[in-house]
């Protein structure tokens, strides 16, 4: 099993740099998800690993081989495409076997391998069907079957679930996860959907504007985003970000939001910015409305969005939209009377107002 | 689309007028064919007297007999089959790989090469230089010359290239990652995916070859090489001036006109036979080409 | 350093992609041999060409052929005939398929519509030789149906194909008969692309079919009409000379002879290759300029270019 290493990888289209010298090491067996808004360079990065896009600078290493000048077919990687790229004129079995036949695998072996893969993916009853006669989820599975059957060193996924409806998407998410557990092949997965990233990844790589913003496990990214971009991208709904002024004293700093005061965790970075503006980040999940702690903040409730076990309270805090996520159980009847929340100071993030970088956090 | 029962009286009147107009145009389109068929089955005498309007008068097959016993007729028929089949295959052999290559984004100088092909649609050297060129190439009076000399045209290449370009890139990429080279991508992926477009181009080639007249007339001089259309032309234009023919028709039940009509019928029949098959494709096909964003 | 890496890049590219160049090569060679080499041969328009000396060996004579051409009454007549016949084709032949498409669109009965379409598309697939044969038979003075019908009204037989004043109406009419049906396909497709909810809301607003045709269908297909018109204008110099060769005769040259038939007679029939090539070159240059203008117009008005 091999890992994948990107060093100072660059993609340029004329003067436009769409991937800006990124470094990344994917460990063998690891499932890494590249996530970011569209146009952030994640797909281009994946396509450079696949060999579908020429590399403008830097190196891609698969295993211990630099593959910059290796044709896609010789890189021993397999890719699942967004639109599946299933050949409409071939049935499921022939679609799965396409790559094996091109590589002149002996006939009986092809049959055995196809049957095996069909078994794993639950496609055995559909082997004679054409793609047009399959459901979205089945097509998705055929596309994966085509990748699996070749036993590649690395799987590449390019937004494979974006053509499915929400329900199928979560089903297929679980299936991909199971598959990875079973096959244990190094996988690189591109998506713009942070929920997919959170649920699938061993590690997530958040990209923006051609550069990597942060690499970490899903929970690291959720709890300790290094900047406002990651904070705003990971989590659903994303972290609330409010402009505030630091005041109080260096060992008991507070954020002044409008005319309300919010105690902050003490740190040297925060103390340095006494009197200056910062961005305060509070996760919707961390705002507590049922048993208010010390120094609660008053909010103006505008709308309650009920999701079932949870509800989203759309409020205004000092004229800035502020979303609170809370449980509905036992409290449902009183939700429309919420007028304040409190938050544990240790769950508050403080970001530099200009650079967006987190303040007072080790390693930041 | 619209429901007759919901039509107002005015709309119904309008619809009836439209149906009648379309019916008249259709009848006008069809009539010459019926008329020609009627003439071909009429006696020369009745035709000469201008009696034939819709149905054969003094029905006879003499005109057909006259034409069908001529070995030159059958020879030219055979030649047309050779030109049509050979020419169409030759065209596809050039056009399909050429259009594929021109559709590939990785082709160096792709813009220039596409312009190189398209330019010939807007500017061509004309009859004389083309003719002299064929002569310099020693392709006058050559069956191969007819087949190769008109094998490619820019329009068909561009039509197919546009179709290839509309195939999602991922089909090619998936095949490449599976280890396919360009020939395999073309043969195993692009051609099966482009069946309608290729059928359309095949059709255009077949029709052009079957109907091809001018250059066959200009380039071919041997009687045994001419295609049906040239034979038809010779026969039609010679009959009326041919004294010997005028002599024979005095006793025969055919005339120059009925024989002409019979030849026309004989050469339209194959077109009519393939027409239903053709029709399936050309409506789509004509829209494939044309305007490109 | 820079150039070396560039060279290795090209080498890598060719090693990886050589197959598409192999696929393209036959087509490129064909274009050079059969279409570009004749363009090189066009220089005989400026030469005193003789078959024995060949294109390269013949001496240059400048614009002599063109001077002769522009003082040649037959050529000038052919040039104007080309413009006039094209103009008539445009005037009568261009609206015909549009009207036909609009009519087809109003027919509710699916089988009737399909049958009518099948029939009117048919003449497009018939060769010019046969078309000419049909025309010659139908207009013949003795057997021709046209004269038979005129006879019913007591009108004497007319030998239409020898009368210069009848050539253009017959030619343009034949063109409409042959191509109007097939030409309607493009407009029918444009009509099919009109959003059906436009009609539905018009019905709700109380519009009748006639009003819908004028207020919805025609404005919606206007861009298509415009593009097709521009293409037609760009092709003004392209008269289907094959059919003219088959239908005209010396008696009707005065109205029927176009530049391409002139070139054919002078060049291929009389062997004045250099002079005929000059006439052809003139035609090709005018046509090229027209096509370029048409494309510029099309780009401006529709943001789609013709290629």
Domain boundaries, chain B: 74-223
**Residue B66: its pLDDT value, please?**
87
Read off φ and ψ for residue B208, nearest 5 degrees: -65, -40
CATH number at residue C280: 1.10.3720.10
Residues C139 and C52 reside in one and the same domain: no
Nearest chain B alpha carbon to C110: B1
User: Tens digit of pLDDT for each residue in A24-41?
Assistant: 999 999 999 999 999 899
Nearest chain A alpha carbon to B182: A102
Tell me if C50 is assigned to some domain. Answer: yes
> C165 CA to chain B: closest CA distance, Å?
22
Q: Which of A13, A50, A52 to probe the B interface (max B CBs under 10 A)?
A: A52
- Which of C57, C82, C98 is where one domain is finished? C57
**Residue A362: its pLDDT value, please?**
46
Domain boundaries B74-223, corresponding CATH code: 1.10.3720.10
> Contact, B213 vs B207, CB < 8 A?
no
Q: Could you identify the residue written with the tokens 């609009």?
A: C102
Residues C222 and C147 reside in one and the same domain: yes
> Contact, C293 vs B122, CB < 8 A?
no
Q: Cα–Cα distance between A237 and A323 in angstroms, integer?
A: 8
**Residue A273: its pLDDT value, please?**
86
**Strand order across the A16-26 sheet:** A16-26, A4-13, A57-62, A65-66
Residue A173, chain B, CB below 8 Å: the answer is no
- Residues with Cβ within 8 Å of B216's Cβ and at least 6 positions away in sequence, in order, are B83, B146, B226, B227, B229, B230
| 8 Å CB contact of B263 and C227 | no
CB burial string A262-293: b at 16+ within 10 A, e below: bbbbebeebbebeeeebbbbbbbbbbbbeeee
Residues C41 and C110 reside in one and the same domain: no
Nearest chain B alpha carbon to A158: B170
Nearest chain B alpha carbon to A97: B178
The Cα diameter of chain A in Å comes to 77
Which regions of chain A carry the CATH code 2.40.50.140?
Answer: 233-352
Tell me if C307 is assigned to some domain. Answer: no
What ipTM was estimated for this complex? 0.89
**Is residue A51 classed as helix, strand or coil in its secondary structure?**
coil
**Residue A363: its pLDDT value, please?**
39
Of C24, C121, C210, the CB nearest to B98: C24
Q: What is the mean pLDDT of residues C63-75?
A: 93
Banded model confidence at residue C20, pLDDT cuts 50, 70, 90: very high
User: Tens digit of pLDDT for each residue in A276-326?
Assistant: 999 999 999 999 888 887 778 899 999 999 888 899 999 999 889 999 999
Nearest chain B alpha carbon to C277: B128
- Residues with Cβ within 8 Å of B290's Cβ and at least 6 positions away in sequence, in order, are C186
Tell me if C230 is assigned to some domain. Answer: yes
**Of the candidates C227, C140, C144, which has an alpha carbon nearest to the alpha carbon of residue C190?**
C227
| 8 Å CB contact of C31 and B213 | no
CB < 8 Å to B279, chain C? 118, 121
Nearest chain A alpha carbon to B195: A89
Which regions of chain A carry the CATH code 3.40.50.300?
Answer: 4-220
The strand ranges marked E within A182-249 are 186-191, 203-208, 211-216, 240-249
Q: What is the mean pLDDT of residues A62-73?
A: 91
CB < 8 Å to B107, chain C? 17, 20-21, 24
Query: Is pLDDT above 60 for B293?
Result: no
The Cα diameter of chain B in Å comes to 77
User: Tens digit of pLDDT for each residue in A159-177?
Assistant: 999 888 888 898 899 999 9
Q: What is the mean pLDDT of residues B63-76?
A: 91
Read off φ and ψ for residue C3, nearest 5 degrees: -70, -30
**Out of C125-129, C238-242, C286-290, which region has the weakest mean confidence (pLDDT)?**
C238-242
**Of the candidates B258, B255, B236, which has an alpha carbon nearest to the alpha carbon of residue B40?**
B258
Whole-prediction pTM: 0.86
Mean pLDDT of chain C: 89
Residue B180, chain A, CB below 8 Å: the answer is yes
Which of A64-78, A320-334, C29-43 has the highest mean predicted lDDT (pLDDT)?
C29-43
C8 or B179, which is more confident: B179
Q: In the structure encoding, which two tokens stand for residue C287, read together?
A: 């046509």
Residues C30 and C71 reside in one and the same domain: no
Banded model confidence at residue C16, pLDDT cuts 50, 70, 90: confident
Handedness of CA C299, C301, C303, C305 (dihedral sign): negative
Residues C99 and C17 reside in one and the same domain: no
Banded model confidence at residue C4, pLDDT cuts 50, 70, 90: low
The Cα diameter of chain C in Å comes to 93
**Of the candidates C200, C268, A63, which has an alpha carbon nearest to the alpha carbon of residue B214?**
C268
Of C113, C208, C242, the CB nearest to B11: C208
Q: Cα–Cα distance between B131 and C34 in angstroms, integer?
A: 10
**Out of C4-18, C121-135, C268-282, which region has the weakest mean confidence (pLDDT)?**
C4-18
Banded model confidence at residue B250, pLDDT cuts 50, 70, 90: low
Nearest chain B alpha carbon to C199: B2
> Contact, B42 vs B253, CB < 8 A?
no
User: Tens digit of pLDDT for each residue in C169-180?
Assistant: 999 999 999 999
Q: Cα–Cα distance between B12 and B15 in angstroms, integer?
A: 5
**Residue A127: its pLDDT value, please?**
94
The CATH class given to the A4-220 domain equals alpha beta
Query: Is pLDDT above 90 for C97?
Result: yes
Banded model confidence at residue A129, pLDDT cuts 50, 70, 90: very high
Residue B6 DSSP class: G
Query: Is pLDDT above 60 for C205?
Result: yes
> Contact, B260 vs B239, CB < 8 A?
yes
Of A83, A84, A102, the CB nearest to B179: A102
Q: Please, which contacts does B57-62 make with residues 24 or more away whose CB atoms are closer than 8 Å?
A: B58/B253, B60/B253, B60/B254, B62/B252, B62/B253, B62/B254, B62/B258
CA B262 from centre of chain: 20
Q: Cα–Cα distance between B213 and B226 in angstroms, integer?
A: 9
Q: Cα–Cα distance between B259 and B63 in angstroms, integer?
A: 5
**Residue B2: its pLDDT value, please?**
60
Query: Is pLDDT above 50 for C307?
Result: no
Q: What is the mean pLDDT of residues A92-100?
A: 94
Residues C72 and C107 reside in one and the same domain: yes
Residues C181 and C111 reside in one and the same domain: yes
What fold characterizes domain A233-352?
OB fold (Dihydrolipoamide Acetyltransferase, E2P) (2.40.50)
Mean pLDDT of chain A: 91
> C194 CA to chain B: closest CA distance, Å?
12
Q: What is the mean pLDDT of residues C80-104?
A: 95
**Residue C140: its pLDDT value, please?**
85
Q: What is the mean pLDDT of residues C248-273?
A: 92
> B179 CA to chain A: closest CA distance, Å?
4
Q: Cα–Cα distance between A34 and A156 in angstroms, integer?
A: 11
The domain tally of chain C equals: 2
| 8 Å CB contact of A81 and B189 | no
Residues C94 and C206 reside in one and the same domain: yes
Q: In the structure encoding, which two tokens stand for residue A15, read together?
A: 């003067």
User: Tens digit of pLDDT for each residue in A260-272?
Assistant: 999 888 888 888 8
> Contact, A327 vs A310, CB < 8 A?
yes
Residues C77 and C173 reside in one and the same domain: yes
Residues C50 and C149 reside in one and the same domain: no
Of B104, B213, B293, the CB nearest to C304: B293
**Of the candidates B208, B199, B234, B210, which has an alpha carbon nearest to the alpha carbon of residue B92?**
B199
Q: Could you identify the residue written with the tokens 């009368």?
A: C163
| 8 Å CB contact of B184 and A79 | no
Q: In the structure encoding, which two tokens stand for residue A266, read together?
A: 């003490």
Of B174, B179, B193, the CB nearest to A89: B193
B10 or B145, which is more confident: B145
Banded model confidence at residue B242, pLDDT cuts 50, 70, 90: low
Query: Is pLDDT above 80 for C162?
Result: yes
Query: Is pLDDT above 80 for B207?
Result: yes
Q: What share of chain B in percent tops pLDDT 90? A: 52
Residues C11 and C53 reside in one and the same domain: yes
Task: Name B270's bridge partners.
Answer: none
User: Tens digit of pLDDT for each residue in B115-158?
Assistant: 999 999 889 888 999 999 999 999 999 999 999 999 999 989 99
Q: Cα–Cα distance between B64 and A217 in angstroms, integer?
A: 88
Q: Cα–Cα distance between C131 and C289 in angstroms, integer?
A: 31
Query: Is pLDDT above 70 for B284?
Result: no
Domain of C30?
Answer: 2-57
**Of the candidates A106, A104, A107, A86, which has an alpha carbon nearest to the alpha carbon of residue A96?**
A86
**Out of B71-85, B146-160, C148-162, which region has the weakest mean confidence (pLDDT)?**
C148-162
Q: What is the mean pLDDT of residues A231-249?
A: 91
**Residue B246: its pLDDT value, please?**
62
> C127 CA to chain B: closest CA distance, Å?
5
Of B23, B101, B118, the CB nearest to C20: B101
Residue B198, chain A, CB below 8 Å: the answer is no
Cis peptide bond N-terminal to A237, omega within 30: yes
Of B2, B108, B286, the CB nearest to C108: B2
| 8 Å CB contact of B127 and C280 | yes
């Amino acid at each position: 099993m091999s890992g994948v290493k990107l060093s100072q990888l660059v993609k340029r289209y004329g003067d436009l740099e769409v991937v800006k010298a990124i470094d990344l090491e994917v460990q063998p067996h690891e499932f890494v998800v590249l996530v970011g808004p569209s146009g952030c360079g994640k797909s281009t990065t994946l396509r450079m690993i696949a060999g579908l896009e020429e590399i403008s600078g830097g190196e891609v290493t698969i295993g211990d081989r630099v593959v910059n000048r290796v044709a896609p077919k010789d890189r021993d990687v397999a890719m699942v495409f967004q639109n599946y790229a299933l050949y409409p004129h071939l049935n499921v079995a022939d679609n799965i076997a396409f790559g094996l036949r091109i590589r002149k695998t002996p006939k009986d072996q092809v049959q055995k391998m196809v049957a095996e893969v069909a078994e794993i993916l639950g496609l055995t009853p559909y082997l004679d069907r054409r793609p047009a006669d399959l459901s979205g989820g089945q097509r998705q599975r055929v596309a994966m079957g085509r990748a699996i059957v070749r036993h590649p060193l690395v799987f590449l996924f390019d937004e494979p679930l974006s053509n499915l409806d929400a329900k199928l998407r979560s089903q297929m998410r679980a299936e991909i996860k199971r598959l990875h557990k079973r096959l244990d092949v190094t996988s690189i997965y591109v998506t713009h959907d942070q929920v997919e990233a959170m649920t699938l990844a061993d590690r997530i790589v958040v990209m923006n504007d051609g550069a990597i913003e942060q690499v970490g496990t899903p929970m690291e990214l959720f709890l300790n985003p290094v900047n406002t971009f990651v904070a705003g991208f990971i989590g659903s709904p994303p972290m609330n970000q409010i402009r505030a002024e630091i005041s109080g004293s260096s060992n008991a700093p507070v954020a002044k939001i409008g005319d309300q005061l919010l105690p902050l965790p003490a740190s040297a970075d925060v103390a340095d910015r006494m009197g200056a503006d910062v961005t305060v980040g509070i996760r919707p999940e961390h705002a507590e409305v049922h048993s208010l702690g010390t120094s609660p903040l008053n909010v103006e409730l505008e709308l309650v969005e009920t999701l079932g076990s949870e509800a989203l309270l759309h409020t205004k805090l000092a004229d800035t939209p502020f979303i609170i996520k809370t449980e509905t159980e036992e409290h449902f009847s009183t939700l429309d009377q919420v007028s304040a929340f409190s938050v544990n100071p240790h769950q508050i993030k403080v970001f530099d107002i200009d650079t967006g970088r987190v303040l007072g956090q080790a390693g930041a | 689309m619209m429901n007759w029962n919901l039509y107002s009286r005015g709309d119904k009147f309008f619809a009836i007028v439209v149906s009648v107009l379309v019916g008249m145009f259709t009848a006008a389109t069809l009539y010459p064919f019926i008329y020609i068929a009627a003439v071909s089955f009429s006696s020369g005498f009745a035709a000469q007297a201008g009696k034939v309007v819709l149905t054969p008068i003094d029905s006879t097959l003499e005109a057909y007999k006259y034409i069908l016993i001529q070995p030159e007729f059958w020879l030219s028929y055979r030649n047309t089959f050779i030109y049509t089949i050979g020419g169409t295959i030759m065209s596809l052999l050039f056009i399909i790989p050429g259009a594929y290559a021109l559709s590939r984004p990785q082709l160096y100088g792709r813009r220039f090469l596409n312009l190189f092909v398209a330019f010939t649609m807007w500017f061509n050297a004309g009859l004389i230089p083309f003719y002299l060129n064929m002569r310099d190439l020693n392709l006058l009076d050559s069956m191969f010359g007819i087949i190769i000399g008109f094998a490619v045209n820019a329009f068909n290449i561009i039509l197919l290239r546009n179709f290839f370009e509309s195939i999602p890139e991922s089909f090619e990429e998936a095949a490449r990652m599976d280890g396919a080279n360009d020939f395999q991508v073309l043969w195993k992926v692009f051609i099966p995916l482009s069946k309608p477009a290729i059928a359309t181009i095949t059709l255009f080639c077949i029709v052009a070859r079957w109907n091809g007249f001018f250059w066959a007339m200009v380039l071919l001089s041997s009687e045994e090489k001419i295609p049906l259309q040239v034979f038809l032309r010779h026969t039609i234009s010679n009959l009326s001036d041919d004294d010997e023919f005028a002599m024979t028709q005095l006793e025969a039940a055919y005339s120059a006109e009925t024989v002409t009509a019979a030849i026309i019928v004989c050469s339209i029949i194959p077109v009519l036979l393939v027409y239903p098959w053709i029709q399936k494709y050309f409506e789509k096909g004509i829209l494939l080409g044309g305007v490109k964003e | 350093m820079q150039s070396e890496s560039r060279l290795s890049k090209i080498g890598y590219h060719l090693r990886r992609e050589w197959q598409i160049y192999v696929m393209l090569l036959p087509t490129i060679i064909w274009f050079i041999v059969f279409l570009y080499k004749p363009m090189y041969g066009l220089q005989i328009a400026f030469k005193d060409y003789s078959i024995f000396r060949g294109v390269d060996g013949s001496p240059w004579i400048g614009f002599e052929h063109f001077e002769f051409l522009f003082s040649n009454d037959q050529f000038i007549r052919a040039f104007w005939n080309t413009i006039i016949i094209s103009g008539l084709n445009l005037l009568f032949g261009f609206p015909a398929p549009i009207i036909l498409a609009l009519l087809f669109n109003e027919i509710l009965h699916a089988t009737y519509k399909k049958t009518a379409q099948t029939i009117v598309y048919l003449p497009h697939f018939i060769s010019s030789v046969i078309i000419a044969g049909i025309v010659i038979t139908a207009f013949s003075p003795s057997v021709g149906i046209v004269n038979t019908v005129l006879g019913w009204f007591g009108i004497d037989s007319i030998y239409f194909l020898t009368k210069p004043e009848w050539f253009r109406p017959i030619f343009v009419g034949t063109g409409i008969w042959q191509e109007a049906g097939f030409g309607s396909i493009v407009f029918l497709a444009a009509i099919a692309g009109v959003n059906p909810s436009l009609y539905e809301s018009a019905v709700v607003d109380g519009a009748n079919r006639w009003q819908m045709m004028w207020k919805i269908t025609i404005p919606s297909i206007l861009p298509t009409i415009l593009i097709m018109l521009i293409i037609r204008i760009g092709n003004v110099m392209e008269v289907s000379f094959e059919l003219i060769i088959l239908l005209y005769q010396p008696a009707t040259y005065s109205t029927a002879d176009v530049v391409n038939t002139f070139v054919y007679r002078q060049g291929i029939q009389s062997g004045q290759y250099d002079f005929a090539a000059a006439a052809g070159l003139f035609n090709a240059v005018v046509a090229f300029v027209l096509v370029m203008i048409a494309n510029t117009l099309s780009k401006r008005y529709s943001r789609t270019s013709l290629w």
